[in-house]
Structure 1
Amino acid sequence: MIDGLLMGFENLFQPIPLLILLAATLMGFFGGALPGISGTMLVIILLPISYGLDAIPAFILLTTIYASSVFSGLISAVLFRTPGTPEAVATVLDGYPMAQKGKPGQALGIGILSSVSGGTFGVLCLIFLTPLLASFALKFSSPEYFALAVLGLTVVVSLSGSDLIKGFIGVGLGLFIATIGMDPLTGTQRFTFDSLELVSGIDLIPVLIGLFAVSEVLRKSKEDHTIKQQMQKFKTKIFDSKIFNQIKGTIARSSVLGTLIGILPGVGATTAAMVSYSEATRWSKNKEEFGTGIPEGIAAPESANNAAAMGAMVPLLSLGIPGSATTAIILGAFVLHGLQPGPMLIKNSPDLVYTIFISLLFVNLLILVLSKPFIRVFSKIMKVPYYTLGPAIVIFCIIGTYAVRNSVFDIWVMLLFGLVGYYLDKMKFPLAAVILGLVLGPIAETEFRRGLQMSNGDLSIFVTRPISAVLLGLAVVAIALPLWSSYRKKKKAAA
């Protein structure tokens, strides 16, 4: 591990990776702080650009944007009661009231300190837990990989909320899209309808960009994102010993809780922030003060959501299971670069994995250094209306999609999935479930067939091997528990 970390330092401290780290941090700041743009959308837009880079700078770019955007959502949440990202929803509850009391600088300072503390704790857990899980997973063969892919597909339970049927439909759509093109083992054409464009399959990038970025632009275009309030002059004080003593327990508890929630596949940083806020309220002796602008009400969600964002990378890098919607997109980026996240990644590409670790550690340092000057510049940007930003995003999406394969067909696919994503989102379908089906489907299919080849067609190989049986059992439990809970609620309501 020490050798890997030293290798990561050496890879990061080169001119191009350092420049990408700095630029990605600032881009993440803007993406997270501007309502209507999120870290997820920025990752989607820059995915085609990353495809043209080497693996190390590409993943420095994507993971840094992810980490810094989770932090910067608090800025507009505190100043304008408009969360820049979903992860900052809980920060509004006490951040904005504190700003209304004439203490916006103090509220932002608490948020910055809590974010950096939570993010750093999450990265340390990422560094130590990922190799441990990966070393265990090196015992995997085809049956275990199939079971792991099935377990990853059951993340749909978390992503679909209370409506499990919609989650299954979303995964089914993704699985179907993954079958279009050439059979991975025999080379037979499937669902191509004699179309040359479909022989190579539906490319991941236009589907990702359409479902997430274009559909989001369509949805956001109906809202008014022009911030009409004027930014008042204030000073942001990051460290205040008196306030730190007041919130240090909250930061520690929320960082641990956020990391644990982030590691759970599909739960995400938004849930971590809300749970940590409610736990901070439960532990507090002054419960009635929450919501009025107290430091603990900012520290709890901000330390938790940044810790959870780092925790979500643990199952992605060690097992190949995304911990959130954004890490599902990063999983797609690994596939585009010809890499398979999971136990073999840290064995075959330790330089890449440890460089990601070190870059995420330094992102938190850059947040501490650059957040104050960024907030001053941010006041100039907030007056830009979304009818200017929206078309610019669509243009970048079209250029990025075309650049990957120089294919006009991919642009039409992107626009089609933009409309599909818009209407699926209106019907509350989890879009990330579609991506999970699209990315994990080929893995599940290939490993299932290879497992059958190993056993000469005997299906029992998937349940007689201990690790495979446990993983499939967990997948069954993940599906059965919400069904049982729903049944009990209906029975109780009927009674």
Structure 2
Amino acid sequence: MALQYILDTLYQLVTPVNLLTLVLAVFFGLLVGVLPGLTSTMAIALLTGLTYGISSETAILSLIGVYVGAISGGVQTAILLNIPGTPAAAATAVDGYKIGQRGEAGLGIFLGNASAFLGTLFGAVCVLILTPLLSMLSLKFGSWEFFLLAVFGVMICGSLTSGGDSLKGWISGLIGLFVAQIGLDALNSYPRFTFGSMALIGGIPLIPIMIGLFGFPEIVSSFKHQEMKAIKQVINLRVKKGLSILKGKFPTVFRSGFLGVAVGIIPGVGEDVAGWLSYWAAKMRSKKKEEFGKGSYEGVIAAETGINATIGGNLIPVLTLAVPGSTSSAVLLAALWLHGFRPGPLLLSESPGFIYTMSMYLVASAFVMLLLGLLVSRYTVKMLKIDKRILMPIVFVFCAVGSFVIDNSITSVYMMFIFGILGVLLSAMKYPAAPFLLGVVLGPMADSNLRRALVLSDGSLAPFLTRPLCLVFVIGIILMILAQLKVFDKLKPIISKKKNISG
């Protein structure tokens, strides 16, 4: 029966209309991912309205295609300009940009695209196999776990990007968490830190913050140095070397894919946490930890695999519980309802072949994304050959436009300038921007879940220590703090001395 479902889906995919639709949708998604300011949520929402009059199979295929393309497209500008096309690609930029700067941008983009391809495939397999088994895992997460997960994610990001001084990374993340509190609170709709300004009632949009934090420091630094020559870049994807590197990193791919799917299943977390968690796990297990942050191939592979594996992970709760794992999958859930599908507990009994259809759509989108991503990179990599005095003013214009199109408001452009200046100051003081961005992303989740948890427990903090998953997160946070205080380094001589005495 399963084989029949797969064959039926393949027959649908090879029709000229569906093939053309898939290619155009993935290409549009890649463009959305490349351009800072545009998001996968925006792309899916736009296409949902345009697909109203076409067949349900073609409509869902186009939405899956644009979803895959938009999530994977952020790798291009992250490696070339250190400006992540998507917030999740900030994890890729940590090592990807360094790879590009040493003349291997083509190789970096190949590794990023290939890892995105493998992550998407891993997610597709998990949709097919793990949907009935793992979808209930998300129900074990309550408000207590969600709050600790947000704190844990910010601390991991701060530790990884701080260049050895985790405290600076954590301070940056805390500032981001504070910025996320601006606007109406999620529980009582009470305005906080708005100072009477109606422009701040809805909070500060994420995209202007992202563009300002990552775009401005690059633009300013390009004009600070006296020698501003164009980078000589060999436009060579170096596929053979890339495949050789990937072959030796299979455990990293598998581990990052698993983490990406697991994070994707948990509603409201998203690709950002998956990318940083995968990056952190790769660094912890690597024999060459010193290379991370300095242009590690494994760092790019881990981040991109984890980020793209969340696509499949996000679909699991959507299909079985009708609970979206991210804002993008929330729009996709609405599109499924629009086209006559009923995600939820009854989906597997009413449409048992639908999970096979979704898995095959993901696989097909992954193949098209890989081919188009590599073709597009042959042109995008040429950006590095342009003198930065010419390139950066153009980038600055795109930054302003990308901020404006979020809500067609000049206020968003002002916000970009403000956070751009803040980004320059953070860069000058060696404070990483990535934890700040992740703090802004996870801030609403941390705030609303902490307050909800305290209401449910009548102000008691006991559940943070009595619930098993909470205890795991608390232990992890404590271990990170102790590591920063170098407690373990101080214990090593004592332990070795005791061993010598007993020996």
TM over 0.5: yes
Correspondent of 2:368 among 362, 369, 377: 362
Q: Match of 1:342? A: none
C-alpha contact (below 8 Å) 1:68/1:363 kept by paired residues:
no
Shift of 1:177: 0.9
* One-letter identity of the residue aligned with 2:455: Q
1:149-298 aligned within 5 A: 149-155=150-156, 156-223=158-225, 226-227=229-230, 251-257=246-252, 260=255, 263=259, 266=276
CA distance in 2, matches of 1:85, 1:164: 15
Cα distance per residue 1:286-310 (max 9 Å; x no partner): xxxxxxxxxxxxxx96577345411
Q: Match of 1:124? A: 121
Segment drifting more, 148-157 vs 406-415 = 148-157
Q: Match of 2:300? A: 305
Shift of 1:173: 0.9
Q: Structure 1 stretches of 5 or more lacking a match?
A: 29-38, 74-83, 97-106, 282-299, 321-330, 340-345
Q: Structure 2 stretches of 5 or more lacking a match?
A: 49-62, 82-92, 260-273, 316-324, 334-342, 348-354, 498-503
Segment drifting more, 145-154 vs 12-21 = 12-21
Q: Match of 2:338? A: none
* One-letter identity of the residue aligned with 1:22: F
Shift of 1:211: 0.9
Distance 1:237 1:314, change over 3 A: closer
* One-letter identity of the residue aligned with 1:46: L
Shift of 1:333: 7.1
CA distance in 1, matches of 2:278, 2:160: 9
Shift of 1:276: 7.2
Q: Match of 1:147? A: 148
Distance 1:24 1:478, change over 3 A: same
Shift of 1:434: 0.7
CA distance in 1, matches of 2:361, 2:421: 37
Q: Match of 1:479? A: 481
Cα distance per residue 1:171-192 (max 9 Å; x no partner): 1211111111112111222111
Q: CA RMSD in A?
A: 5.2
C-alpha contact (below 8 Å) 2:37/2:207 kept by paired residues:
no
Correspondent of 2:74 among 66, 75, 86: 66
Segment drifting more, 175-184 vs 397-406 = 397-406
Q: Match of 1:412? A: 414
CA distance in 2, matches of 1:68, 1:169: 29
Cα distance per residue 1:433-480 (max 9 Å; x no partner): 111111111111111122222223322122222222223322332333
C-alpha contact (below 8 Å) 1:153/1:437 kept by paired residues:
yes
CA distance in 2, matches of 1:271, 1:463: 24
CA distance in 1, matches of 2:460, 2:453: 9
C-alpha contact (below 8 Å) 1:181/1:190 kept by paired residues:
yes
CA distance in 2, matches of 1:423, 1:379: 29
Cα distance per residue 1:254-294 (max 9 Å; x no partner): 23235536857636769969997959x9xxxxxxxxxxxxx
Q: Match of 1:19? A: 24
C-alpha contact (below 8 Å) 1:167/1:429 kept by paired residues:
yes
CA distance in 1, matches of 2:180, 2:146: 17
Q: Match of 2:51? A: none
C-alpha contact (below 8 Å) 1:122/1:310 kept by paired residues:
yes
CA distance in 2, matches of 1:17, 1:407: 33
Q: Match of 2:404? A: 402
Distance 1:453 1:7, change over 3 A: farther
Give the TM-score taking structure 1 as reference length.
0.64
C-alpha contact (below 8 Å) 2:183/2:203 kept by paired residues:
yes
C-alpha contact (below 8 Å) 2:121/2:309 kept by paired residues:
no
* One-letter identity of the residue aligned with 2:96: E
Correspondent of 1:44 among 4, 12, 36: 36
CA distance in 2, matches of 1:112, 1:207: 25
Shift of 1:45: 3.9
* One-letter identity of the residue aligned with 1:146: F
CA distance in 1, matches of 2:280, 2:389: 27
Q: Match of 1:324? A: none
Shift of 1:72: 8.2
CA distance in 1, matches of 2:302, 2:233: 32
Distance 1:49 1:382, change over 3 A: same
Segment drifting more, 170-179 vs 270-279 = 270-279
Q: How many residues align?
A: 413
Distance 1:258 1:225, change over 3 A: farther
C-alpha contact (below 8 Å) 2:125/2:359 kept by paired residues:
no
C-alpha contact (below 8 Å) 1:89/1:270 kept by paired residues:
no
* One-letter identity of the residue aligned with 2:397: I
C-alpha contact (below 8 Å) 2:279/2:303 kept by paired residues:
yes
CA distance in 2, matches of 1:196, 1:184: 17
CA distance in 2, matches of 1:489, 1:18: 57
* One-letter identity of the residue aligned with 2:24: L
CA distance in 1, matches of 2:329, 2:175: 19
C-alpha contact (below 8 Å) 2:80/2:381 kept by paired residues:
no
Shift of 1:225: 5.7
C-alpha contact (below 8 Å) 1:122/1:307 kept by paired residues:
no
Tell me the SS of whatever aligns to 1:478. helix
C-alpha contact (below 8 Å) 1:70/1:305 kept by paired residues:
no
Tell me the SS of whatever aligns to 2:217. helix
CA distance in 1, matches of 2:466, 2:284: 41
Shift of 1:169: 1.4
Structure 1 position 460 matched with structure 2 position 455: no
Segment drifting more, 412-421 vs 397-406 = 397-406
CA distance in 1, matches of 2:29, 2:23: 10
Q: Match of 1:87? A: 96
Name the % identity: 26
* One-letter identity of the residue aligned with 1:64: S
Distance 1:408 1:272, change over 3 A: same
Q: Match of 2:435? A: 433
CA distance in 1, matches of 2:185, 2:112: 46
